[in-house]
A and B are shown apart, each in its own frame.
Chain A
Amino acid sequence: GTWCPLNMSQQAVNGVSHRGKVLTLDSMNPNVKRVEYAVRGPIVQRAVQIEKELKEGVKKPFTEVIKANIGDAHAMGQKPITFLRQVLALCSYPELLEDNMFPEDAKKRARRILESCGGHSIGAYSASQGIECIRQDVARYIERRDGGIPSSPDNIYLSTGASDAIVTMLKLLVCGEGRSRTGVMISIPQYPLYSAALADLGAVQISYYLDEDKCWSLDVAELRRALNAARQHCNPRVLCIINPGNPTGQVQSRQCIEDVIRFAKEEHLFLMADEVYQDNVYAEGCKFHSFKKVLFEMGPEYSSTVEMASFHSTSKCYMGECGFRGGYMEVINMDPEVKAQLTKLVSVRLCPPVPGQALLDLVVNPPQPDEPSYTTFMKERTAVLAALAEKARLTEETFNTVPGITCNPVQGAMYTFPRITLPQKAIDKAKEEGQVPDMYYCMRLLEEEGICLVPGSGFGQREGTFHFRMTILPPTEKLKVVLQKIREFHLRFTQEFS
C-alpha cells in the first residue's frame, strides 16, 4: 500500500498489473470509514437485492418486500397534499397560470414565489440562506406556532432537508484536538445521522440514555452523568435533542424541556433541537412544545443567553415530501461573527434546491379559512394525521400482545422501537455468524417474510437489550398484515432457538 515518490514513477513504467489504486480502503479518509448509517445499511441493500430477485422470478416465501425501515410516507402510499403539488406544478410551468383548472389561492402562492425568484424562474439560484420571502413566511409561521414570540427572518436558514442543516451546525461547532476536541451529546437510541456526522467530522460522541421504562423519557441526572464522564476525555459543547423522538416516538413534556434548557445553560452547551416531527403527535395528553417557545417563556435570563438551533423539514408531519429535500433551521442567540461564518459556509453550496424551498413556503403558509383550497387542504391534512394516530395505536397494541415483544406507546413521530427478547441460543448463533443479534433477527425476518426493519443496534441501545425500528407508515390494512407477520415470525424464531 505505501509507495515512496520515487517508486511511483518507476512503477508506472511497469504498467498495469503492478499498480495499486491511488484510492484504496487503506488510503482513503479514515473518518469516512467510521461513518455508519443503519437506516440505509446492509439490511436495506439486501432488501433491494431481494426485490430484484423477485422481479427475476426467484421463488420466495413472500411476493413483495415491505420496506418499513425508513419514514418515507409517499413510498408507503400516502398521497401528496393537492394544494402543495398544484403550486409546485404552477411554479415549474408558469404557463399553467393561464389555466382555469387551478384554484386562485394556488396561483397566488405560485406568483408570489416566482416573483421572488431571479428571472421569475425556480431554475435560478436563490440567495444561499434561502429565498427572502420564504424566510419571512417561515418566521411568521414560527411566531404563530410559538404564541407570538418574535422570530427574525435573518435567523432562518433554508436547507437541503433537515439533515443538511444539522450537519452544517455540527460542522461549525467542531474544534480542538485530543482532550479539547468538541464533544456532542446525543440520545441513545438516536437517529444515526448524528453518529454518522460526528464520525465524519471527527467529533466525540457523548451518549446519554433515554429511559425505556418511562416511555423513553429524558432524565437530567442521566445527562449530567454522561456529561461528567465525557469531561474526562473531551470538551462537551453541544446537546442534541430529538423531539418528538426518532426512533423512540416519545413526546417531551414541557417540564422536561425546561430542565434540559436549564441544564444547557448551567453546563454551557449549545442546544440543537431536531423538531422535524412537530406535527406528528398522537397520544392523548401529549403536546408538542417547541424548545424556542419554552426558552422564551423561561425569561430573559435564558432567552437572551442560551444558544440554540432548531430544525424542521418538509419530509415528515402530514406532508411526507421527502424527495424535495426542503427544510430550515432557526438559530437563536448565535454570535454575529459566527453567523457571518455560517452564511459564508452555506454560500459555497450555492443554495438549497428551489423546489424544496417553494414547498417549504407552502407548508408554513398553507391555505387560509377564506381561501378556495382550504377545505380540501384541511380534509387531506386531517385524514393523514388521523390515520397516523390510528396506526400508532394499532402498532403498540398488536406488539404488546406478542410474548417477548414489549412496546412503548408511539406518542409521536413515525416509528415504533419495540424491545425484543432474543433466546440465548439465537444470540450465540448470531455471534457464530459474526452478526449483532438484532441484525441476525432482522435479516431472518427479511429473508422469511420480506419485511425490512432496522435493527436497534443501528440506533444504539442499552447493552444486552435488543430492539428494531419499524415505521408505522404502511396503509392500515397492510400494516395489520405486517404486524401479524412479525408476530408469527417472532413466535417461530423464539421457538426455534429455545
Chain B
Amino acid sequence: LGSTYTTLISVVSSKVTGVVRSLTSPPLSSSSPGRALSSLSATRRGLPQEKMSENGMVSRAKVLTIDTMNPTVKKVEYAVRGPIVQRAVELERELSEGMKKPFAEVIKANIGDAHAMGQQPITFFRQVLALCSYPELLNDSTFPEDAKSRAHRILQSCGGNSMGSYSASQGIDSVRQDVARYIERRDGGVPCDPDDIYLTTGASDGIVTMLKLLVCGEGAARTGVMISIPQYPLYSAALAELGAVQINYYLNEETCWSLDIGELQRALDEARQYCNPRALCIINPGNPTGQVQSRECIEDVIRFAAKERLFLMADEVYQDNVYAEGCQFHSFKKVLFEMGPEYSNTVELASFHSTSKCYMGECGFRGGYMEIINMDDEVKAQLTKLVSVRLCPPVPGQALMDLVVNPPQPGEPSYDNFIKERTATLSALAQKAKLTEQVLNTVQGISCNPVQGAMYSFPRITIPEKAIKEATDKGQQPDMFYCMKMLEETGICLVPGSGFGQKDGTYHFRMTILPPNDKLQILLNKVKEFHQRFTQQYS
C-alpha cells in the first residue's frame, strides 16, 4: 500500500509541476524574475486569503523543484549508494515481508563496511569508548588498566572531562599530538607537527574540504583536478558539486592498475586547453582497483607534481591493507621527504586517513584526519576558519582515532589480545584477497588483477553483444544491466564499473572482499554461476 501511495503522489505532483513549470518558466528565466514574482504576489496580496485556497495546492508550483534546485547537486553521482543499492534495500524489505525470491538473503558487497559483514570490533577500542561514554565504569575492575588510562587521558583533554563538549575545530589537541607521533613512527622519523593535523568526520570530509579550498576561477581558468579512472566516486561527486573540472587519467589495467606518468602528462596537457589543472589526487592502496603503488611510482608522481605545479592529495585510508607479497605501503609524505629538500620544502601535499578501513573497520564513528604539508600560512588560517563553521568532528570518532594511532604497547595488559585480533583480521583479509582473485580468474569472461591491497576486487567482465544491446535498449549501462540482473537473480549487490569510470568498451564491477570466508566462497560461486548463465543466455 505504502509504495502505491508514494507512486501516486509522485505522479500527481510531477503532473502539477509540469503544468506550473510551463506557467512559471518564462519569468524564472527572464532577466527580471524579481519583478515578475513580486507583481504576482502583489495581486495576491490584494485578495482575501480564502480566495487563494479555492484553487488550493494545484495552482502553486513548489518553491523548490528539480528545475529550480542547485544544478551542481543534480550532477552529483555516487554509485556506491546508487540505484542498485536502493533496489537491494527494497529486495530486503520484500524478503522480510515473505516474498519468494530465488535467494534467502541479500549480500551487500557494494561497500567496504567491515562490521556489517560480521567483522568484530577490536575489544580494546570499544572498551575505551565505553569508558569515555560512561566514566563511572572507570571504577569497574573488569576493565584493563591500559584501557582506563587511555580513557582517562582522552577525557582529560575534553572540555568538562566529557565527550559531550565541543572540541577545538581542528580536533582535540592531545589526539592531534598522538596522530603526529604515529606519523613520525610510520615514516621512520620524518618529523610531523600536530599543527598540520586536522581531525575530520571520516576521510571524506577532509577530502571535500581540501577540494573546496582549491577551487576557483571561471571558464578556462576554472580549477581542474586530476583523478584516476577508475576512481572512488566521492571525488567525482565532490568535483561536480563544487563545479570544478574533472581531469581523468587512466590506470593501466594490463599492468595491475599501475599509474603511468606518460598518461598523467597526456591527461594534463589536454586539460590545459580548457581548464587550470591545480590538483592531483592519488588513492593508494587503490580504491576500487586494489593496487599498491611502488616507491618508484610515488617518486615519479611527486616529481610530476613538482614540475607541473600541482597540489597533491594522497588518499591513504587503506594504508594497513596491503596483502600481496613484495608489496609495501609507502606514504607519500615519507617518499617526499626522502627525495630531499628540493621537493620536501616545496611540494604541497594533503594526506588522508580514517578509522573506517584497515583492521578497525569502524565506519560508523566517522573518524579521520588529514595532514597538510607545505601549505601556505594564510591558506592554513583560512582552512582553520572554514572547519570552525562546522564546530568540530564527532568526538567519539576523535577518541577512536586516538586509539588507532596510539594502540596498546608491548607490556600493557591489552597488548596480546589487541595484536591477536588485529592480526586475525588482516590475515583473513589477505586470504580473502587471494581467494577472490583465484576464483574469479577461473571464470571464462572474467579476468581479475591481484588484490594487492585495500578491500575490493575490480574484475573485468566480458558482456556479450546481445546483452549490451538489450541494456542499451533499456537505457542502462551494460554493466548496470549485468549487476541488476545479478542482484535480482542471486541477491548479490555489487557496484557496476561505470560508477567508478572505466576505459570505453570495457566493463567491470566492484566487489568487497569483506564477507566471512565461507560466505565469500558461496558468493564467488554464485557470481561464477551467474556469469556463466548470463553469458549463455546472451550468446
Q: Which residues of A contact B (CB under 8 A)?
A: 3, 5, 8-9, 11-12, 15-16, 19, 21-25, 27-30, 32-33, 35-37, 39-41, 48, 70, 72-80, 85-86, 88-90, 92-93, 96, 99, 101, 117-119, 121-128, 160-161, 163-164, 167, 171-176, 179-180, 192-193, 196-197, 200, 228, 230-238, 262, 266-270, 299-301, 304-305, 307, 319-325, 333-338, 341, 344-345, 347-356
Which residues, 74 to 125 on B, are CB-close (under 8 Å) to A?
74, 76-78, 80-82, 89, 111, 113-121
Whether B306 sits at the interface, judged by CB under 8 Å, is yes
Residues on the B chain within 8 Å of A230, using CB: 34
A324 near B394: Cβ-Cβ < 8 Å: yes
Whether B395 sits at the interface, judged by CB under 8 Å, is yes
Q: Which residue of A lies closest to B126 (CB)?
A: A93
Residues on the A chain within 8 Å of B65, using CB: 335, 337-338
Whether B407 sits at the interface, judged by CB under 8 Å, is no
Whether B365 sits at the interface, judged by CB under 8 Å, is yes
Besides the known contacts A28-B213, A336-B6, 12 further A-B residue pairs in the complex with CB atoms under 8 A apart: A27-B216, A27-B278, A40-B388, A40-B391, A72-B159, A123-B114, A163-B389, A305-B60, A322-B166, A347-B81, A350-B202, A353-B396
Shortest distance from the beta carbon of B535 to any chain A beta carbon, whole Å: 32
Q: How far is it, in angstroms, between the C-alpha of A348 and the C-alpha of B201 when the chains are bound?
A: 13
Closest 8 CB pairs of A and B: A118-B116, A75-B159, A354-B364, A323-B395, A89-B134, A93-B130, A301-B53, A231-B34
A164 near B117: Cβ-Cβ < 8 Å: no
Q: Which residue of A lies closest to B81 (CB)?
A: A347
B117 near A126: Cβ-Cβ < 8 Å: no
What are 30 contact pairs spanning A and B, CB under 8 A? A8-B309, A23-B214, A23-B278, A29-B212, A29-B214, A73-B164, A78-B160, A85-B133, A86-B134, A123-B121, A123-B364, A126-B364, A163-B390, A173-B70, A175-B68, A200-B386, A233-B34, A235-B37, A237-B64, A266-B44, A323-B396, A324-B164, A325-B394, A333-B62, A337-B17, A338-B65, A347-B82, A350-B81, A353-B201, A353-B394
Which residues, 416 to 440 on B, are CB-close (under 8 Å) to A?
none
Q: How far is it, in angstroms, between the C-alpha of A238 and the C-alpha of B65 when the chains are bound?
A: 13
A70 near B166: Cβ-Cβ < 8 Å: yes
B396 near A335: Cβ-Cβ < 8 Å: no
B56 near A85: Cβ-Cβ < 8 Å: no
Shortest distance from the beta carbon of A12 to any chain B beta carbon, whole Å: 5
Candidates B38, B63, B119, B237; contact of A348 at CB < 8 Å: B237
Binds A, one of B254-262, B370-378, B495-503: B370-378
B388 near A37: Cβ-Cβ < 8 Å: yes
Q: How far is it, in angstroms, between the C-alpha of A12 and the C-alpha of B45 when the chains are bound?
A: 65
User: A125-B363, A161-B391, A321-B164 in contact; A234/B34 too (CB < 8 A)?
Assistant: yes
Whether B270 sits at the interface, judged by CB under 8 Å, is no
Shortest distance from the beta carbon of B152 to any chain A beta carbon, whole Å: 15
Q: How far is it, in angstroms, between the C-alpha of A246 and the C-alpha of B199 when the chains are bound?
A: 27
A19 near B346: Cβ-Cβ < 8 Å: yes
Residues on the A chain within 8 Å of B389, using CB: 35, 37, 40, 163, 192-193, 196-197, 200
User: A37-B385, A163-B390 in contact; A268/B63 too (CB < 8 A)?
Assistant: yes
A101 near B140: Cβ-Cβ < 8 Å: yes
Q: Which residue of B lies closest to A192 (CB)?
A: B389
Q: How far is it, in angstroms, between the C-alpha of A228 and the C-alpha of B38 when the chains are bound?
A: 8
B165 near A323: Cβ-Cβ < 8 Å: yes
User: A123-B363, A124-B116 in contact; A270/B63 too (CB < 8 A)?
Assistant: yes
Shortest distance from the beta carbon of A336 to any chain B beta carbon, whole Å: 4
Q: How far is it, in angstroms, between the C-alpha of A322 and the C-alpha of B73 when the chains are bound?
A: 29
Whether B316 sits at the interface, judged by CB under 8 Å, is no
Q: Which residues of B contact A (CB under 8 A)?
A: 6, 9-10, 13-14, 17, 28, 31-35, 37-38, 41, 44-45, 49, 52-53, 56-57, 60, 62-66, 68-71, 73-74, 76-78, 80-82, 89, 111, 113-121, 126-127, 129-131, 133-134, 137, 140, 142, 158-160, 162-169, 201-202, 204-205, 208, 212-216, 234, 237-238, 241, 272, 278-279, 306-311, 341-342, 345-346, 348, 360-366, 374-376, 378-379, 382, 385-386, 388-397
Shortest distance from the beta carbon of A9 to any chain B beta carbon, whole Å: 6
Q: How far is it, in angstroms, between the C-alpha of A232 and the C-alpha of B133 when the chains are bound?
A: 53
A323 near B34: Cβ-Cβ < 8 Å: no
A24 near B121: Cβ-Cβ < 8 Å: no
B33 near A235: Cβ-Cβ < 8 Å: yes
User: A266-B45, A301-B52 in contact; A32/B382 too (CB < 8 A)?
Assistant: yes
A348 near B234: Cβ-Cβ < 8 Å: yes
Residues on the B chain within 8 Å of A90, using CB: 130
A350 near B204: Cβ-Cβ < 8 Å: yes
Q: How far is it, in angstroms, between the C-alpha of A68 and the C-alpha of B188 when the chains are bound?
A: 43
A267 near B41: Cβ-Cβ < 8 Å: yes
Residues on the B chain within 8 Å of A124, using CB: 113-116, 363-364
Q: Which residue of B lies closest to A342 (CB)?
A: B73
Q: How far is it, in angstroms, between the C-alpha of A35 and the C-alpha of B385 when the chains are bound?
A: 8
A341 near B364: Cβ-Cβ < 8 Å: no
Residues on the B chain within 8 Å of A167, using CB: 390
A28 near B379: Cβ-Cβ < 8 Å: yes
B115 near A119: Cβ-Cβ < 8 Å: yes
A160 near B76: Cβ-Cβ < 8 Å: no
